[in-house]
Structure 1
Amino acid sequence: MTRRAVIRGTGRYLPERIVENAWFESFIDTSDEWIRARTGIERRHFAADGETTSAMAIKAAAAALDSAGMQPDDIDAVIVATSTPDLTFPSVATMVQAGLGMTRGFCYDMQAVCAGFVFGLANGDALIRSGQAERVLVIGAETFSRIMDWTDRGTCVLFGDGAGAVVLEAAEGDRGILASDLNSDGSFRDILYVDGGVATTGTAGKLRMQGNVLFRHAVEKLAQTAHRVIEKAGMTTDQVDWLVPHQANARIIAATAQRMNLPMERVVLTVADHGNTSAASIPLALSLANDEGRFKPGDIIVTEAIGGGLSWGSVILRW
């Protein structure tokens, strides 16, 4: 039998503050209609003053553990995908470990921007397949509201804050992560980046994006990686029950689904209510769909994402 990483629990956390599109109309040249038409976003959540990435990650992780019926010390490893850590170091993952009261295991962060959770899932799967861990907590958590340029209407309306988490556990059989496909191309750095950092400006910086260029890359690369991961699993698109994509833009999601010949009824969409929560978007969507009972045992699910780097990838799993 094959040893695989099976999702045993999901959890999520969204800050209390809900920001509707109309909020932006008071200080930049935009409108609710403009934002909805171009992105599908209607609202997003912003972290409260003093509310950190690690604080949100801890709450999502605790919910995932509860969903899995596990205790913190049942976990061998914690992986946090984030581009907005509390501090330069230590890692958010170690803060989650302490916040949960874990007294064992190892922890680290992953930085692949919006693709971070897909990379985290692939890493968690590798730890389990290699026997280095039996149970891995994989979290995506972001406070992108802290790196927005509030004068840039092309970016500041897009992003939100939040955290999502899954518990992976080793199991024999055909359930769990079947295959992954990871990619990066650093020559596209200037399409999506933050203009600050420890070794350059000594500041966190602000997000910069070439939206139209990124849109074209996203549709092409997301469809390609989804097809590749399905082929790696020895399957065809018509065997896929659900697509759980990175929630960046409703038009990108619809175009990708069309290239995969998937009807939108088989796509989990949360972008209208969450905005783009970067590495948190896929685990937030997984948790919501799971709580709503959309996934049935044996369902084939594809997740895919693209982010700064550029970095992009996909994971296919049997629920």
Structure 2
Amino acid sequence: MKKSILSFVAAAAITGTAGANVQAEEVTVKKGDTLWDFSQTYNTPVDMIKEWNGLTSHIIHPDDVLNVYPEKKYIVSKGDTLWDIAREHNVTVEAIKEWNNINSDLILPDNELILYPNAKAVNAAVAPAKSEKPAETVSASEQKSVQPAAKPSQPVEKTAQPVEKSQPVPEAKPAAESKPAPEPAKPAAESKPAAEPEAEKPAETANDETAQKVLNMEATAYTADCEGCSGITATGINLKENPDQKVISVDPNVIPLGTKVHVEGYGDAIAGDTGGAITGNKIDIFMPSQEDAINFGRKPVKVTILD
């Protein structure tokens, strides 16, 4: 998206503008626990918990010890820069931009930023030994969510197959001259609609594709209702002139720009924008006002590809 469009995520109820060194909380996994449960309990994205603990999958085991770092809200003061805030809280500028879905280094006074102080240090101190074992199992299932983009090519190949003219229709005539009696029977065999059974196969493939077009995504929200925001998306949609337009920001490698989608809880929309922090299975949903964008927060949604 254009750098001037400001993105927001819901802030946690932790206040303060000074960054004290906060220690990560160690959590022992119990039977039945999931990363999603911990993300809801500690108001922390699943991806952050995985990063801090060196996890490559969503699978955890009883008695595993996880480091969970509390979320902190930082109110931008006049004269603050991302570099100053990053140094004060022992994080990187890129991390702050990713956590808050910011595409430029510009911040304004009274903006609220979400921080995970010392998060990078916690990540470096954690050994990923316990959770690497099931990586192969989960990676195979996770890859399914991005595979549908490559499968539309299969029906094209099948559709071309009925064009084959391998049946020896011209050769049947010499046979008919030597044996006049069987000649009437051969056209009946040749007139079988051989293309019809194969023409039905693409319909089955289309049903399989439909089932594979539902993606599990992590959604945040953004708005063009802010001072200095141009409101022009990556595909040229003017969101200020069309505040009721439903647009999502996507990773074009997962959902191509221009794709029509249905977002759970949001409705039918168009993939009309991009963002520096929107990579992989993440989307950013356009909201007409700052209040709507802040209230939306960060949540998992199902996205259905409509075309």
Q: Relative CO higher for 1 or 2, CA cutoff 8 Å, sep ≥ 6?
A: 1
Task: Give the TM-score category using the shorter length.
Answer: under 0.3
